[in-house]
Structures are given as C-alpha cells and as structure tokens.
Structure 1
Amino acid sequence: MAEERAAQPVVESDVIVVGAGPGGSTTAKWLADKGLTVTLLEKSTFPRDKVCGDGLTPRATKQLIRLGVDVSEEAGWIHNRGLRTYGGRKEPFEFLWPELAQFPNYGLTRPRSEFDHMLAQLAQAAGAELVQGANVSEPIIDASTDRIVGVRTKDGGEYRAPITVAADGNSSRLALAMGLEKNRKRPMGVAARAYFNSPARTHDPLMESWLELWDGKPGESNLLPGYGWIFAMGDGTVNVGLGTVSSSASSQKMNFRDLMWKWLANTPAEWGLTRENMVGTIGSAALPMSFNRKPAYHRGLVLVGDAAGMVSPFNGEGIPYAMEAADMAADAIADARARGFGTPAAEKALAGYRTRLEAEWGGYFRLGQVFVSLIERPEVMRLCTRYGLPRPTLMKFTMKLLAHLYDTTDGDWMDRTITSLTKVVPSA
C-alpha cells in the first residue's frame, strides 16, 4: 500500500508573487517596504541563469538606485558610459549616455545569475518570504466571485492571498490559466546569446551593437534581419548575442546559432569570438513586446514584466520596464489594501495600474510597433544605417528614442519632440 503524503499547511499572505525575476522580486520588495505580507514563489533555485544580454541602460540603473542597491564598481558592477553602433560604414557611431535630469549618465553590466539572486535577497531583506523550488501549477479560483485567491504548486503546496502577481515570464502559465492569451499581432522578438573568453574586449567602457548582420563578406553578401551585441563583463569574458524582431508573433523562423557564427566570422581575430573560446552554450529566449498580453489587472491577478509583454519594441530591453511596473503595481496593491481588498474602491485602485502603464509607455510602445514594421525588412534597415549613421544629430535623436532616454519635462528640443510624438499616437 502506497504511503499517503501528508497535506501541507496553507500559507496565507496579503500578496503572492509568482516568479522571482527582476519584476517579481522588485514587486515583492516594494510591497514589503509598504508593510504588506508577501510570499515570493520561484520555481528554480538560486543562483540560476537566464538568457539575457546582461547589459543595463541608465533606465535600469535608475531603478536599482531607487531600490537602494550599491551599484559602485567596488560592489562588483561593471559601468558603461554609452553605446557604440556599427552599420552603414566602417567607422562606428558612439553615443554617450546623455546628461538628463531623470536618469543617471551610466549603465551597468552584471550576469543575470547574480543579478536576479541579488534582487530576490533584497526582497527577503525587506520582509518578503522567498520560497524556492515552488513550481506553480494552477490558480485557485473562488467560485462565488470568479477571482483568483491563491495558487497551487506541483509539490502540493497551497498559497492564498487576496491579490496574486504573475511575474512568471513570457509563457505565463498562470495568466493563461486565467484566460489571458497573447495578442499575436503585437511584435515578438527572439534573442540568442553566449559568453566568450575575450581579454581584448572584456573591459570595453561602451556597450556595442551591430545593426547589420551579413551571411558572408560585409557589403558583398546577403544582409540578414536582426541585430547583434557585445557587452564587456570585466572578468575576461564578453556577452555576445543577436536578436530579431517581427511585427507579429507568428514569423520567427531564423536559425540563430547558424546566424551567430556567420556574423562572428566577420569580427577581428584578436577578439577571440570563436567556438574554441565559447564558455558554455548558445541559449535563446523569446522577447514579448508592446503589451502583448492585456489587461495587466484581471480578477485579482496583476501582471508584471514579460508576463504582460513589457519589452521595448525599439531595443528588446525588458528589465527596466519590469522594475518600473513593479513599483507601479506595488503602489496600486498597497492602495487597494488600504481601501479594503475586494471592495469597489479597491478595484478602482487596481484598475488604475492598467491606466498608469498605458499613460507611461503606451504611446512609446505604439511608435515601436511602427519602427519594427520597418526595420524587420533588411533593405529598409540598410537604407537607414547607410544614410542615417553619418549624420550625428540624426543619430543622437534616434539613439535617444531607441534607448528611451529623454527628459519628459525639462529636456532639449530632441526630448520635447520625442515626448510630443509619444503623446499624439494612440496607446499600444
């Protein structure tokens, strides 16, 4: 006779956060700071890796500073001061991070295996309970209200709370179980990355992007869709990757490993970006963009980060948006608790999270969708790089737009122009 498994006790809290990535851990940290009891569920065990470029722009740096993180080089962070862009000509364009009132003038680099663990520990230190190895299998729905009131894990655990945050990534099985499907008309990116031993490049003070990927000799072969990057890690290695983006989620057919080796064959031999110098393997991941899963609040479920498609269509960056959304979500949830979870007033507060997201990024993401529909065509990208890169003023304007680094209230003419553009287009 099989031995019966003892039932696990039900864990109750104010909020359950599913997924301890940057969005989930930051949400848990802000909620704990506001005095709410938080259970943070992570299906893996730290430290664990994620496919990512590991490079953070000043937008993400700002969020870390707000969290109270020591981002000094003495604390293990690699600082970068801008972006070097190749395309259209032999000489690259160097864009230094701008001096802005709203953002610092430097970016950071840190492996995701360390970055995510650090944020989870930050949430713990604030008072959140971190449960590792908790693989959520299904939501618990209150039949009388049709609201989510908790989750179950594959090992039989049961966690209950008035509000659940889905920060469980692109696939977000929790959101799917609640009936929230992806909008396949929204842009979808795919990225692949690997680490290489490269003493020649490991201390580069600039992040690097390649806007032209050739399948042979540059300028004399086929131009392929996509972009590449090289980020210095400061430890003898570099993070090398490439990505592509399409205007819909249904057309992702590229062989990334093959494309990466074709691109790297054109890099200087002294950089050492060869199969022999690769550390580990090439990994890949999807980049859900432009609010491809909505609404961000639904029947007691709050979506944060990739679960809601909070990746920029302009540059494939998702971490700063996940962390900013975490702050907004925590504000709305704390307000809802003060009004009384489940009351009409609390629901108004939680609906305000959706409204705030669209007000902050809706226009910008909509512009990004137009951008994607153009640059996914290699011939258009080639024209842009050929005629745009030699023009420093145009490139500075473009880079501010692509990096989402401009002052919305006290900037120069470029900042004012971009801000106006994002306000006149409909929200994504």
Structure 2
Amino acid sequence: MTVPPATQADADVIVVGAGPAGSATAFYLAQAGLDVLLLEKTRFPREKVCGDGLTPRAVKQLLNMGVDVDAPGWIRNKGLRVVGGGHRFELDWPQLERFPDFGLVRTRQDFDEIVAANAVKNGVRLMEGVTVTEPVLDDRSGHIVGVRTKDGRVFRSRVVVAADGNSTRLALGMGLHKRDDRPMGVAVRTYFQSPRHDDDYLEIWLELWDGDTLLPGYGWIFGVGDGTANVGLGLLNTSAQFKNLDYRDLLRRWCKAMPADWEFTEENMTAPIRGAALPMAFNRQPHYTRGLVLVGDSGGSINPFNGEGIAYAMETGEIAAEVIAKSLKGTTPAQQERTLRTYPRTLKDAYGGYFTLGRWFVEAIGKPGVMSFGTRHGLPHPRLMRFAIKLLGNLTDRRGDASDLIINALSKVAPPA
C-alpha cells in the first residue's frame, strides 16, 4: 500500500502516549536536542487507575526531570505501615545514597498532566486528542516510519516509541504479543471521604481473604491529603482463584470490614470502583523491533514484587531516550539500527535478574499456605521486614550494607527475564 504524505509536521521521534513513560521519554529526547512529537489520545486532565503512591524510586525520577515536588498538592510520606498476621508496624524508607528518603502521593488526575507539561516546557511538542490506530510501515523494509491516527492523518518520524500502555496498539500492529509465562496483576481502587486522608505512611495490608482463602496480593490505604483516601487492592494471577474473583465485590467487602470511624462507606465513596491490568516482568518482548521502541507498560515494565509501574515507566523512558539519541547520531542507517538493537539488552541488564526474582516470588506466594506462612512468621521480625522493604521496592545502593549486597548479588546471578 502506498503511504500518503504526512499532513502535519514530522519529527525526529514520535512518542505515542503521554503517561509517565511517554512524557519521560520525550523529555529526555528533547534534552538531547531532538525534535519530539508526543501524541496523547485523551485530553488533560484525565483519570488513570492507580494507587497514586510513589516510592523513593519514582521520586528520584521526578527530581531528575526538575518536577517541583514541593509545590502544592504533593503529599510526602515517610515509609510503609504494614498490617498483617496480627501485627501493625511502621517501616521508614531506607536511607540510601541513590534515592531520596521520602515517597509521595499525587492522584493520576493531574500527575500525568504535570509530567507532560514538564516535557513541553523543555521543548516537546504535545498534541492531545490524537488517537493512534496503527503503525505506518515502509513497504520494502517493514520498518515503522510513522503512525496513522483515527482521523486518517499520518505523522512520520525516524523512530517511534510505543508508550501507549498495556493494550498497546502499536506493539500489536508490529506483531508483538504478550508472553504467557509472565505474571499478570489487576488493581482495583476507589476514593473515600475519610479521616484517613492525612497520613505520614503508605498503609499496606498483606492479608486479603476470600472466605477461607488467603489471596496473593495486598490492600492499600493511601491518604491523598485533600480529604480523601485512595483505597484499593492489588492481586496476582498466580492463584487458582484469580479468574473467578469479582475484584470490585472483594474491595467492597474488604472496605466494610474496616473500622467504622474510617468511614469507608458507599455514602462516602467519591469515585466509582475502577480496575486496570498490571503487565509485569517484561511480558511483551522484544522491546525494540524494526524502528519501534517499547517503554513502560507497553513492554510490561512493572515490578512483580509490588506492582509498581510509574518508576519503571520513567526509568525505561530515560534509557530508551539515551539509546535513541545515540542511534540518531549514527552516520548510516545500519549504524542506527545496530545501536537501537542494544536497547533490549540494556533493559535486561538493568532489570532482568531482579524481575526474575520477582517472578519466582509471585509464583511462590500463589501456592496455598506460602502467603500465610510468610505473613505469620516474617512480620514479627523487624530486621527481616527492613530487608523485605528494600527487596520488594528495589531500593538498594550499589555499595550499601549487607542487605543491599545480598539483593544486588541475587539480582545479578538470576537469569534475565
């Protein structure tokens, strides 16, 4: 098929999707001096299903991009409050050289808009309300040379970045499908007007019961600071009950079991219960093929230990931008292609072993009795839990204490995901 000429300005790189992954990629590409077009199908502000909690790993990325996290609306937290097995205690975020010692809460209603606006401030061209439907391919090479939109327009570029989420049309259009050997999660959440809106800790509940069955996952209560709390559940598909669960009903039942003075009632619910899939541990590969680069959820870059996605969305965006910028300095198409093909290996070097540890972890807790044993016997030991918060949050220094060295060594020897 003959490709019609683009009807809008071309760019060095087109990034599809202005979530944290796309906006971070676009920001770093613009910092490298490239002309970047960022296409977003919705219009800001817009909602996105999320827990709204940001670990120090995500905070570091925001700080690196110059986002003002001291501005109104950002709520700081000191660490995690863990509830389970009859225990309840608080764990501060670890003191590390590589990461700040605080987390944040900000609703996705304006978080994504803030990160996108920061990219625009640094030279990115953002177009909202533009739905990309398919890749435009070179007839001879099969490489992607642009994208086609719902209204028939074509935008061309030298490289295209898919940051369009779990159900990425671009990756599917290039023949990249999900891997069945990777864990998948689901998150459901709502908001309540509640006294629990103001809290110095992100609260995590490690026991989710469906009748007499302990499920692999956790519940959360994250104070938003505006009179509301984000309350939700994250569940893994590694248990036999996963396919038959009514997640929204499970969340309703979980909330009803909470203390009455927290006011988690239907009358105080300020938003409907919404759910989203959590693609984990690089569940779509390769992360580069024929001119298309995958970042964030489109490549399954969610931590299987804790379901965290925003930090890895922004980190993979930074890595992708570095590789793309280097490739476009190549003098020949062959040199550019060789550089772009290093991206999947770079990602696996950064996260592959750690994500493999995460896959083993979720497979283990999906077995009857393992989650119960860990909750009952692990929670009473503060030293073990401090190790766990580093492992589950991927928060270590390269040359840190003994726990850092152990986690780093395990991640290094585990086969890449």
Residues 13, 34 of structure 2: 8 Å contact kept: yes
Percent identity between the two aligned chains: 54
State which of 281, 303, 310 in structure 2 corresponds to 1:290. Answer: 281
Q: Distance in 1 between matches of 2:401 and 2:294?
A: 34
Answer yes or no: is 1:142 the counterpart of 2:138: yes
Q: CA deviation at 1:8?
A: 7.4
CA-CA distance at 1:146 after TM superposition: 1.1
Aligned-residue offset at 1:125: 1.1
Deviation at 1:184, TM superposition (A): 1.3
- 1:162-191 per-residue CA deviation (whole Å, 9 max, x = no partner) reads 100000000111100101011011000000
2:107 matches 1:111: yes
1:43 to 17, 41, 44: 41
Partner of 2:186: 190
1:385 aligns with 2:375: yes
Match for 1:83: what amino acid? L
Superposed CA offset, 1:147-173 (max 9, x none): 000000011111000100000000111
Secondary structure of residue in 1 paired with 2:313: helix
1:416 aligned to 381, 384, 405, which one? 405
Aligned to 2:161: 165
Of the three residues 73, 85, 88, the one matched with 1:88 is 85
Alignment counterpart, residue 207 of structure 2, candidates 208, 212, 218: 212
1:349 aligns with 2:342: no
- TM-score, reference length from structure 2: 0.96
> For residue 358 of structure 2, what is the amino acid of its counterpart?
G
Distance 1:136 1:248 in 2: 35
Structure 2 counterpart of 1:265, one-letter code: K
Q: Which residue number corresponds to residue 63 of structure 1?
A: 61
Q: Please say if residues 185 and 249 of structure 1, whose CA atoms lie closer than 8 Å, have aligned partners that are also in contact.
A: no
Structure 2's unaligned 5+ residue stretches are none
Q: Which runs of 5+ in 1 are unaligned?
A: 1-6
Instruction: Tell me which of 120, 124, 134 is aligned to 2:120.
Output: 124
Compare 382-391 and 118-127 and name the one that shifted more: 118-127
Residue number in structure 1 paired with 2:72? 75
Q: Distance in 1 between matches of 2:192 and 2:24?
A: 30
Query: How much is the aligned-residue C-alpha RMSD, in angstroms?
Result: 1.6
Aligned residue among 208, 218, 227 for 1:236: 227
Work out whether residues 188 and 248 of structure 1, in 8 Å CA contact, stay in contact via their aligned partners in 2: no
Letter in 1 for 2:202: M
Alpha-carbon distance, 1:352 to partner: 1.9
Aligned partners of 2:413 and 2:241: how far apart in 1?
A: 29
Partner of 2:311: 320
Please list the CA deviations of residues 252-301 of structure 1 after superposition, one character each: whole Å capped at 9, or x if unmatched: 43211111122112211110111111112000000000000011110000
Amino acid at match of 1:240: V
Give the conservation status (yes or no) of the 8 Å contact 1:182–1:293.
yes
Does the 8 Å CA contact 1:186/1:247 hold for their aligned counterparts?
no
In the alignment, the residues of structure 1 paired with residue 243 and residue 328 of structure 2 have an alpha-carbon distance, to the nearest angstrom, of 42
Q: In the aligned structure 2, how far is the partner of 1:49 from the partner of 1:329?
A: 26
TM superposition shift of 1:334? 0.5
347-356 or 235-244, which moves further after superposition? 347-356
Indicate if the aligned counterparts of 2:216 and 2:239 stay in contact, CA closer than 8 A.
no
Match of 1:359 among 343, 349, 355: 349
Matches of 1:94 and 1:196, distance apart in 2: 23
Question: Aligned to 2:407, what secondary structure does the other structure show?
Answer: helix
How far apart are the structure 1 equivalents of 2:334 and 2:412? 30
How many residues were matched structurally? Answer: 413
- In 2, Cα distance between equivalents of 1:302 and 1:67: 21
1:394: Cα distance to partner? 1.1
Q: Flag the 1:312–1:252 CA change in 2: closer, same or farther, 3 A.
A: farther
Give the structure 2 partner of residue 280 of structure 1: 271
Structure 1 residue 378: deviation in Å? 4.7
Q: Distance in 1 between matches of 2:338 and 2:69?
A: 37
TM-score (norm 1): 0.94
Shift of 1:10: 3.7
User: How far apart, in 1, do the equivalents of 2:367 and 2:342 lie?
Assistant: 37
Counterpart Cα distance in 2 of 1:248 and 1:391: 26
Assess if the C-alpha contact under 8 Å between 1:51 and 1:285 holds in 2.
Answer: yes
Residue in 1 that maps onto 2:52: 54
Q: Deviations over 1:393-420 (max 9, x none)?
A: 1111111100111112x20000000000
Distance in 1, Cα, partners of 2:403 & 2:368: 27
1:177 aligns with 2:177: no
1-structure distance, mates of 2:304, 2:324: 28
Pick one of 223, 226, 242 that aligns with 2:217: 226
Deviates more, 1:233-242 or 1:250-259: 250-259
